[in-house]
Amino acid sequence: MRWTEKYRPKNFDEIIGNGKQKKEIEAWVKEWKEGNPQPCLLLVGPAGTGKTTIAHVIAREFSDFIELNASDKRSYDIIMNTVGQSATTKSFFTNDNEYKLIILDEIDGIHGTDDRGGTKAIGKIIKESIHPIIMTANDFYSKRLTSIKPKCKVIKIGKVHTNSINALLKRISVKEGIKVDPEAVRALAKGSNGDMRSALNTLQVIAEETKKLEMSDLELVSQKDNTNNIFDSVRRVLKSKSIDKVKNSLRLDEDPTLVLEYIAENIPREYEKPKEIKKAYEMVSEADLYFGRARQTRNYTYWRYASEFMGVGVALSKDDTYKKFTRLTGAMAFSLMGRTKGKRALRDRIAEKIAEKIHVSNSVAISMFPYLEIMFENDDVAYDISTFFDFDEDEIKRFRKKKIPKSVIKRKEKEKQEELANEKKKAKSETGISEKIPSKLESNFNLNLTNKKSTEEITQETEIKKDNSKIIQKSEKTISSESSQKLKGDISDEKKLKEKKYSNEISNDKEENISKDKKSKDKKSKDTKGDSAQKSLFNF
């Protein structure tokens, strides 16, 4: 069994450190037990300081509890199905003052596709729950806590003091029958950096089998990674004058330019003398130059020099350390960038319109803004400029608070229409005059032009005319021959038609004569047949 579970505190008295925080938590529990609902409790602090232990101690004060920890998937559906219904209902077998505790562990670790919508589900449960909720988180400044913190009672759990960890390790060593070197125990407690869980796990790994702990044993086990929180690093830079401590404080997993922003933001909060502040900002400026060189040259060895200036340089800028509590804040540069995002987008949009219209760069267009602000004080000029660049209402507001008066807009539109009408009239009148130029003037004009021609041009023209006349004569001859041939062809065709017609008439006459002869013969034969019939009848 792990010693962290074996020796986990079972009540508030056994919890080490954070005495003030324990009292606040106990008061919160008491209010709930008396039937007075309280806001959900958010415990924030570094790993290993006892946040989850406190939550389990609180759970013993209530009839039942539900827990979701960092190892569980915590998407919207899972949280609502697991906790959502329980948070809004009570059991028939419990009294009115009996509640179920809901524990949500390490909520700042909700991320990725498996936990999609988890933060939204937690916000909904906080709003609708009739039961007490306790949550834990490691990073107070996590973005995932932004919407949750205002709805909760936030209690910061600090690191456990080295002496408290030292006493705990000695007590457990006695119970486990381990022979320990006091210096080794103290070194182990100090090396844990306020993390009780880390110190206890190290003790178990070293001494569970050998039943002893010496200084030489600590060399075999790596100590807890002393990577710092960004605020811890900034605090050490501003509070210390020890070069080694300052250098160690900058061992953190953060972008060094971000650390520089935090240091620059908090210098005037810690330093009080103007000369100290001046010198510290000079060091910050030097560090920023080296960061710039690193970006431009892709040579990141410059970071080493930047770290010296922003760490040791700033720390040694003060005459003495200040024995006061300073509330550090995040870099305002990032929050200002977030707040001014819309303004910057508007600025860029205006600059693009100006640059496109008058063919300049965006930076030059932006440099014209102060002059435009002065010019926009005049209503007429404001209207003219805004129509020229096609500015909308938001873009006009960038240069003047008041809207352009409607009377000015109407007057300007009317003037524009009149100007267009005058231009049309002028264009029509110009075309009418050009059509009415006398022919005499045209002939004189042409005469003057011809007089100005050189003799060479005249000779060239005469030669061209002769050539043209020859070409015309040839074309006429060819045309006449072609027409005569065509005429002869037409006459022969007509003669052929007449001959054909005459032959047709002769053939028709022949056919008529033949048919007449045939008819007469038929008639004669009929008459002879009749006579013979009469004769035969008479003879009978």
| pLDDT reported for residue 333 | 60
331 is in an annotated binding site: no
50 is in an annotated binding site: yes
For residue 338, pLDDT beyond 70:
no
Q: Is 157 left (phi over 0), alpha (psi -120 to 50) or beta?
A: beta
| pLDDT reported for residue 267 | 92
Least confident residue range of 256-270, 397-411, 488-502: 488-502
Least confident residue range of 71-75, 242-246, 279-283, 524-528: 524-528
Please write down the HEC assignment for all residues of 109-123: HCCCHHHCCHHHHHH
374 vs 499, which has greater pLDDT? Answer: 374
Distance CA 246, CA 238 (A): 9
Query: What is the arithmetic mean of pLDDT over 527-533?
Result: 46
For residue 283, pLDDT beyond 90:
yes
Contact (CB, 8 A) for 189 and 161 = no
For residue 532, pLDDT beyond 50:
no
| pLDDT reported for residue 274 | 92
| pLDDT reported for residue 354 | 93
52 is in an annotated binding site: yes
Residue ranges and CATH numbers for the domains of the chain are 18-156 (3.40.50.300), 162-223 (1.10.8.60), 230-330 (1.20.272), 340-422 (no CATH)
Distance CA 28, CA 133 (A): 11
346 vs 504, which has greater pLDDT? Answer: 346
| pLDDT reported for residue 41 | 92
For residue 383, pLDDT beyond 80:
yes
Query: What is the value of pTM for the model shown?
Result: 0.47
Q: What is the mean pLDDT of the chain?
A: 78
| pLDDT reported for residue 375 | 93
For residue 59, pLDDT beyond 50:
yes
For residue 87, pLDDT beyond 70:
yes
CB atoms within 10 A of CB 356: 13
313 is in an annotated binding site: no
Distance CA 220, CA 223 (A): 9
pLDDT digits (tens, 9 = 90+) for 407-434: 888 888 888 888 888 888 888 777 765 5
| pLDDT reported for residue 538 | 37
Query: What is the arithmetic mean of pLDDT over 454-469?
Result: 61
For residue 374, pLDDT beyond 90:
yes
274 is in an annotated binding site: no
46 is in an annotated binding site: yes
Please write down the HEC assignment for all residues of 218-266: HCCCCCCCCCCCHHHHHHHHHHCCCHHHHHHHCCCCCCHHHHHHHHHHH
Q: Considering the chain, what percentage of its residues have pLDDT values greater than 90?
A: 16
For residue 226, pLDDT beyond 50:
no
Gyration radius of the chain over CA positions: 55
50 vs 98, which has greater pLDDT? Answer: 50
Distance CA 79, CA 241 (A): 49
| pLDDT reported for residue 7 | 84
| pLDDT reported for residue 452 | 47
| pLDDT reported for residue 138 | 85
Burial of 126 (0-12, 13-18, 19+ CB in 10 A): buried
37 vs 98, which has greater pLDDT? Answer: 37
